[in-house]
């Protein structure tokens, strides 16, 4: 019995170790794949006969502007995003209705009887509601990005991602969008507010990120709870 229990514990330990090693291998492979850009879309440039410079290269001319302009070139994106919003709403309604009816002597009843035949009613409805919401968020980062497409009008589509892992806590920021070559600064930088169709994501994964969300049972109870 003891030998069987020892073998079971040993097998479980080996499986856990194997899973951990596989996880590290997969993680390293994913990082390498994300870091290494695809070169299939980059045009191969060859030197012209008798020339030291490549024809379509950004370094073709000695005084060429070093800013990004072709597929595969790098551009540094300065992410500076500030978003603030607020909204207030107030609603107040009220309605009062009343009615009163009294029978007169036209019914042919004695006066002392008709004085007691009275009917009346009243109704009051009132609603008062107030609501407000506000949001304030900011993000500052630097993400080197790669030009992956050049449009016929000269605009560039860029895409970049920066991933940092510290103590098993992974933070990832991704940037993608369309830029104009004219908006690229002398230091080959561009601010995020100049990116059209911008998609900027900042996500985290790890123990700290998990603590930012309630457990699955709490979420399920909140979803089915009718009150």
Q: In a structure prediction context, what are the per-residue pLDDT tens digits for the chain, which is 227 residues long?
A: 555 665 666 666 655 544 444 344 334 444 444 444 454 445 555 555 655 555 555 555 555 667 777 888 899 999 888 777 777 777 777 777 766 666 555 555 555 555 555 666 676 767 677 777 776 778 888 999 999 999 999 999 999 998 888 777 888 899 999 999 999 998 899 999 899 998 988 887 766 556 566 666 666 766 766 65
- What's the pLDDT score for residue 136? 73
Please list, residue by residue across 58-89, b when 16 or more beta carbons sit within 10 angstroms of its beta carbon and e when fewer do: beeeeeeeebbbebebebbbbbeeeeeeeeee
Instruction: DSSP letter for 219, please.
Output: H
User: What tokens does 168 get?
Assistant: 């098993």
> What pTM, to 2 d.p., does this model score?
0.53
The full set of domain ranges for the chain reads: 74-84+135-224, 86-133
Question: Residue 170: its pLDDT value, please?
Answer: 83
Token look-up 């007691």 returns 116
As a whole number of angstroms, the distance between CA 7 and CA 13 comes to 10
Beta strands across the sheet bearing 74-102:
189-191, 74-102, 118-150, 156-166, 169-179, 196-205
Total residue count of the chain as it appears in this document: 227
Q: DSSP string spanning 63-117? A: T---S--STT-EEEEEEEEEEEEEEEEEEEEEEEEEEEEE--GGG---HHHHTT-
């Amino acid at each position: 019995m003891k030998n069987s229990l020892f073998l079971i514990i040993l097998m479980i330990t080996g499986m856990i170790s194997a899973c951990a090693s596989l996880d590290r291998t997969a993680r390293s492979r994913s990082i390498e794949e994300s870091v290494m850009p695809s070169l299939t879309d980059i045009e191969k440039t060859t030197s012209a006969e008798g020339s030291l410079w490549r024809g379509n290269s950004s370094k073709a001319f000695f005084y060429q502007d070093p800013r990004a302009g072709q597929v595969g070139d790098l551009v540094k994106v300065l992410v500076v995003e500030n978003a603030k919003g607020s909204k207030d709403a107030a609603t107040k309604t009220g309605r009062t209705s009343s009615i009163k009816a009294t029978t007169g002597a036209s019914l042919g009843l004695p006066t002392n009887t008709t004085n007691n035949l009275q009917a009346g009613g009243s109704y009051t409805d009132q609603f008062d509601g107030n609501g407000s919401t506000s949001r304030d968020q900011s993000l500052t980062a630097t993400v080197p990005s790669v030009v992956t497409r050049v449009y016929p009008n000269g605009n560039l589509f860029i895409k970049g991602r920066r991933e940092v892992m510290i103590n098993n806590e992974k933070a990832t920021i991704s940037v993608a969008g369309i830029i104009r070559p004219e908006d690229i600064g002398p230091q080959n930088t561009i601010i995020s507010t100049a990116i059209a169709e911008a998609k900027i994501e900042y996500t985290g994964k790890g123990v700290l990120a998990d603590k930012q969300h309630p457990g699955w049972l709490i979420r399920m109870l909140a979803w089915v709870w009718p009150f």
